[in-house]
Every structure is written in structure tokens, then in C-alpha cells.
Amino acid sequence: MTIVFDRVSFTYPGSREPSLHGLSFHAARGQVTLLTGLLGAGCSTTVLVAAGVAPRLLGGSVEGDVTVLERNPGTAEGWRDLAGRVAVLLPTPWTQLSGMTFTVADEVAFGPANLGWDREEILDVAAVAMDQLSVTHLAQRDPATLSGGELQRVILAGLVAMRPDVYLLDEPTVELDPEAADAVYALLPTLAKTAAVLLTTTDSDRAVEVADSALYLESGQLVSAGSPCDVLGSERVVAAGAGVSVATLFRDAGARGPYPVDVAAAASRWMTA
């Protein structure tokens, strides 16, 4: 297993209540694992803990075992071993720009260059990554002049270029317009071929199309886990307002759970009903 959480609790510094309570789950290479819940449920915190940022950078206290690629990302040595293998994407594009580059092409190559790869190899992987995220036409632009959506794709390209083993994606598409968001979600199964993808999002409609498994959190606790259809169509999740829109429509129309999560399932249920 690539990411393993074993009864993990986490408390932010200066806070009394833990933000995660005894969370256990695992995410495997080859899969897109969806982590979902309402705002404040602990999804972003889970990403930060998996990245070891909490407690290494943010402070706070962790109980239980966090293991990523057989190492503990919360320690300096663990993170050093994981360098370049764990890609973290946050929802705020501006704070994630390296700040050191003057063109998009160099921004995408920033990570591989820091890992000391050969120059030719870097230029290759950067070109491929820019193509995958459809930002090749921006290659010579100054990153400071890009829109939030363009920037988020450039930063994701910068992570893809590093060929990581783990992607931790926290609300990767909030800055994107619908078409760009579709394109990013369509790319996730490709990324998952060589890596474990842990995705948090409130965009259940798109996520359910690409996720291989889903976890649903409430107040820092794992409430349900399983196939995306089961989790996102379950009574509890839909009732909480975190389900997909088709399921929510069915519930609002007075149907009973478990609800269908996509249009095809909805149509077949309509037929059989």
C-alpha cells in the first residue's frame, strides 16, 4: 500500500479539539482515491498530514501511524527520502508558484531541476507535462501574467513533470472553468497508472467519474468507505448534502437510498421503477 493511515489523530497547534479522530484508510498505486466531506470535515487536513506538512511545517501533534511509501513523512528524514516522490497540490495557485522562474516552461521544469536530473531529460518531461495539461501554448509567458485557472494547470504540470509516486490533490480544480476542470479530471486515471492519487474535492459529480474508491469524512472521522457509487449515493452522504447531483435530485424527488450517482444508473432505475 502506498499511503496507510493507522488510527491517525491530529490536533493543530493552539487548538484543543483534534481535527482528525482515529482515521484509518489506505490508498494504493493504480487507483484514484476520493476523500470527500463537507467543509471542515478534515479532508484538507488529511492531505496535509499525508504530506507530512503537519506536523513538520505547521506544528501540532499527530497520534497513530502515517506511512507513505514505507516512510513517515512527518519527520525530516522521512521527508528527505520522499523528496520528489510525493506531489502536493493545494487549491491556492498563487502561493504555489516557485517564485523563481520567469517563464511557464521554466516553472514546469523547476521541480525536476531541483532533483538534479539531466538537462535533456528535464526538457523532455517538462514538454510532455505541459502537453498533458494543455499549457504548451503558454510556455514562454511570465507565470505572473496568468489567470488562476491557467496557473493551477501550470503548477499541476510542474508536479507531473517530477513523475511522483503519490499525488495529494486538495481541491485541484476550484480555480478552473468547467472545461479545464473536465480535462484535469480526465487526466487523473492516466496519472494513477504510475502513482497513487489521493483527491479531495467537493465536486462529487466529476470525482465520481474517475475515482476507484471513496472515503467520506464527518468531523474528522471516517464515516463510510467503499466504491464511489456506494459512498456518494448512500442515504447519509446525500442527506448531508455531499452526494452527487443526480442522487440529490432523486432524494429531493422523494426516492429512497441508495441513490443512483450517474445519469445511466438513474435512467435504468427509472426504467425498472
Determine, following the binding rule CB under 8 A, whether residue 12 of this chain makes contact with other proteins: yes
Decide if 192 contacts 28 (C-beta within 8 A). Answer: no
Tally helices (H) and strands (E) across the chain.
Answer: 12, 9
Binds other proteins (CB under 8 A): choice among 20, 41, 66, 122: 122
Determine, following the binding rule CB under 8 A, whether residue 109 of this chain makes contact with other proteins: yes
Determine, following the binding rule CB under 8 A, whether residue 83 of this chain makes contact with other proteins: yes
| Strand, coil or helix: 133 | coil
β-sheet bridge partners, residue 226 = 214
Strands 61-68 and 213-218 turn out to be unpaired
Sheet containing strand 3-11, strands side by side? 20-27, 3-11, 61-68
Determine, following the binding rule CB under 8 A, whether residue 147 of this chain makes contact with other proteins: no
Determine, following the binding rule CB under 8 A, whether residue 100 of this chain makes contact with other proteins: yes
Q: Which is nearer to other proteins, 114 or 147 (CB)?
A: 114
**CA atoms of 177 and 58, how far apart (whole Å):** 31
Determine, following the binding rule CB under 8 A, whether residue 61 of this chain makes contact with other proteins: no
Determine, following the binding rule CB under 8 A, whether residue 103 of this chain makes contact with other proteins: yes
- CB contact set of 256 (below 8 Å; sequence gap of 6+): 235
Binds other proteins (CB under 8 A): choice among 113, 128, 255, 266: 113
Determine, following the binding rule CB under 8 A, whether residue 13 of this chain makes contact with other proteins: yes
Determine, following the binding rule CB under 8 A, whether residue 115 of this chain makes contact with other proteins: yes
Residues that bind other proteins (CB under 8 A): 12-15, 48, 51, 53, 57-59, 76, 79-80, 83-84, 86-88, 90, 92, 94-103, 106, 109-119, 122-123, 144, 155, 158-159, 162
